[in-house]
Amino acid sequence: MHFLDRLPRFVLFTGKGGVGKTSVACATAVRLADAGRRVLLISTDPASNVGQVLGVTIGNRITAIDAVPGLSAIEIDPESAADEYRERVVGPLRGHLPELELASVVESVSGSCTTEIASFDEFSGFLADEARTTGFDHVIFDTAPTGHTVRLLQLPGSWTRFLDEGKGDASCLGPLAGLDRQRSLYARAVRALSDPATTRLVLVARAQASSLAEAERTRAELAEIGITATGLVINGALPEQAGDEPLAVAVRSREKAALAAMPAGLALLPRDDIALHAESIMGADALRGLLDATPRPAADAVEVALPELPADELGLARLVDELAAAGHGLVMCMGKGGVGKTTVAAAIAVALARRGHDVHLTTTDPAAHLTDTLAGEVPGLQVSRIDPEESTRVYREQVMATKGARLDDEGRAALVEDLLSPCTDEVAVFHRFSRIISESRSRFVIVDTAPTGHTLLLLDRTGSYHHDIARNMAEGMHFTTPMMRLQDPQLTRVIVVTLPESTPVLEAEQLQRDLERAGIRPWAWVVNASIAAARPVSAFLRRRALAELPHLERVGELASRRAVLPLQSEEPIGVERLAALAEHPTAVVTG
Look at residues 120, 251, 221 and name the one whose alpha carbon lies nearest to residue 175: 120
| 20 has catalytic annotation | yes
Q: Which amino acid is at 389?
A: E
- Of 133, 363, 455, 503, which residue is the catalytic one? 503
Taking the CA of residue 568 as centre, how many other CA atoms within 13 Å lie in the half-sphere pointing to its CB? 21
The DSSP H or E segment spanning 345 is helix 341-354
Domain presence at residue 305: no
Confidence of residue 359 (pLDDT cuts 50, 70, 90): very high
3-state class (DSSP) for residue 49: coil
Domain presence at residue 295: no
- Of 23, 28, 424, 440, which residue is the catalytic one? 23
Domain presence at residue 298: no
**487 vs 499 pLDDT, higher one:** 499
pLDDT at 392: 82
User: Do 230 and 347 belong together in one domain?
Assistant: no
Alpha-carbon distance of 186 to 153, in angstroms, equals: 7
Radius of gyration of the CA atoms of the chain, in A? 24
User: Do 322 and 279 belong together in one domain?
Assistant: no
**575 vs 46 pLDDT, higher one:** 575
Asked whether 124 and 186 are in contact (CB, 8 A), the reply is yes
Alpha-carbon distance of 268 to 232, in angstroms, equals: 9
Q: What is the pLDDT of residues 157-172, one digit of tens each?
A: 444 344 344 444 444 4
Q: What is the pLDDT of residues 237-261, one digit of tens each?
A: 999 988 899 999 999 999 999 999 9
- Of 15, 17, 20, 315, which residue is the catalytic one? 20
- Of 15, 17, 22, 492, which residue is the catalytic one? 22
Domain stops at, among 232, 255, 288: 288
Domain presence at residue 442: yes
- Of 14, 45, 142, 362, which residue is the catalytic one? 45
Domain of 266 in residue numbering reads as 2-288
**128 vs 328 pLDDT, higher one:** 328
User: Do 383 and 477 belong together in one domain?
Assistant: yes
Confidence of residue 275 (pLDDT cuts 50, 70, 90): very high
- Is residue 178 over pLDDT 80? no
Query: β-strand 271-275 against 71-75: which pairing, if any?
Result: unpaired
Measured on CA atoms in the order 288, 293, 299, 304, is the torsion positive or negative?
A: positive
Domain presence at residue 300: no
Look at residues 158, 131, 135, 141 and name the one whose alpha carbon lies nearest to residue 26: 141
The pTM is what? 0.78
Q: What is the pLDDT of residues 536-550, one digit of tens each?
A: 988 889 989 998 999
**141 vs 519 pLDDT, higher one:** 141
Three state DSSP letters for 489-553:
CCCEEEEEEECCCHHHHHHHHHHHHHHHHCCCCCCEEEEEEECHHHCCCCHHHHHHHHHHHHHHH
pLDDT at 588: 39
User: Do 459 and 568 belong together in one domain?
Assistant: yes
- Of 14, 16, 17, 18, which residue is the catalytic one? 18
CATH of the domain at 21: 3.40.50.300
Q: What is the pLDDT of residues 97-107, one digit of tens each?
A: 788 777 767 76
| 23 has catalytic annotation | yes
User: Do 366 and 489 belong together in one domain?
Assistant: yes
- Is residue 519 over pLDDT 80? yes
Look at residues 164, 459, 453, 444 and name the one whose alpha carbon lies nearest to residue 319: 444
User: Do 322 and 282 belong together in one domain?
Assistant: no
Domain presence at residue 304: no
User: Do 39 and 88 belong together in one domain?
Assistant: yes
User: Do 124 and 40 belong together in one domain?
Assistant: yes
Average pLDDT over all residues of the chain: 81
Asked whether 378 and 350 are in contact (CB, 8 A), the reply is yes
Domain stops at, among 257, 288, 319: 288
Look at residues 526, 136, 533, 528 and name the one whose alpha carbon lies nearest to residue 306: 533
| 256 has catalytic annotation | no
Asked whether 323 and 440 are in contact (CB, 8 A), the reply is no
Domain presence at residue 302: no
| 452 has catalytic annotation | no
User: Do 271 and 357 belong together in one domain?
Assistant: no
Overall number of domains in the chain: 2
Helix axes 388-402, 423-437, angle to 10 degrees: 100
Average pLDDT over residues 207-229: 86
| 22 has catalytic annotation | yes
Domain presence at residue 294: no
User: Do 80 and 17 belong together in one domain?
Assistant: yes
What percent of the chain lies above the pLDDT cut of 90? 36
User: Do 256 and 179 belong together in one domain?
Assistant: yes
Alpha-carbon distance of 138 to 29, in angstroms, equals: 8
User: Do 257 and 364 belong together in one domain?
Assistant: no
Structure letter (DSSP) for residue 184: H
- Of 21, 167, 341, 403, which residue is the catalytic one? 21
| 36 has catalytic annotation | no
